[in-house]
A and B are shown apart, each in its own frame.
Chain A
Amino acid sequence: RKEVEQDPGPFNVPEGATVAFNCTYSNSASQSFFWYRQDCRKEPKLLMSVYSSGNEDGRFTAQLNRASQYISLLIRDSKLSDSATYLCVVTTGNQFYFGTGTSLTVIP
């Protein structure tokens, strides 16, 4: 079983839409959780950390559900510039585990 699983998409949504991505992880001992954003042919960059209490950064909201072992990312009022691949990242011990990423295209 993979450490981290994501729906690869692609998600094609109109500008202004709300879109949500989910990611599941297999190890209940995982400690830290993140969402990274990767633009085409660029390196991944940290978008936000994910906390059990949920956290928000502008139009982006991240949630962690430890009981069900999944994390989510909600993007409200999508912008064209949100088009990218969103990677779920989980740390277990000293290891970082990356999901395959979910591709998002926001359409005018």
Chain B
Amino acid sequence: ETGVTQTPRHLVMGMTNKKSLKCEQHLGHNAMYWYKQSAKKPLELMFVYSLEERVENNSVPSRFSPECPNSSHLFLHLHTLQPEDSALYLCASSQVAGRAYGYTFGSGTRLTVV
């Protein structure tokens, strides 16, 4: 399988649940990203990992916890979310952090918090 794969595609969770989003890239890229896309708002960068180290955390609430065990996998652990966290969560990867070459998005996880 190639490209950037995200699972699950859809997720409905209660505010007291704990769940995780998974992202996997088979492109040999060194950087991975989590974005949030809410309706009528621009894509918001949440986290950037470069060579498995977090290099960017854009004031994201602690109820979102990223994990990058290796350069091919990225997780976003979710707990005690709020209804306003409902959005499309997109993973992306690129060869080098912040560089446009090869920037590729996954198909996203559509999260609904009830």
Contacts and interface: CB of A to CB of B under 8 A. Distances in A.
Interface residues of A, number: 23
B42 A43 contact: no
If over half of B's interface residues share one DSSP class (helix, strand or loop), that class is named, otherwise mixed; here it is loop
B43 A87 contact: yes
A57 to B, nearest CB: 16
| Chain B interface residue number, banded | 10 to 19
Given A32-B100, A43-B105, A46-B103, A100 B41 contact: yes
Interface in B37-59: 40-43, 45, 48, 55-56
Contacts, number: 44
Interface of B: 40-43, 45, 48, 55-56, 88, 90, 97-98, 100, 103, 105-108, 110
Given A43-B90, A91-B98, A94-B56, 20 more contacts: A4-B42, A34-B100, A42-B107, A43-B105, A43-B106, A44-B43, A44-B90, A44-B105, A46-B103, A93-B98, A94-B97, A95-B98, A96-B45, A96-B98, A96-B100, A98-B43, A99-B42, A100-B40, A100-B41, A101-B42
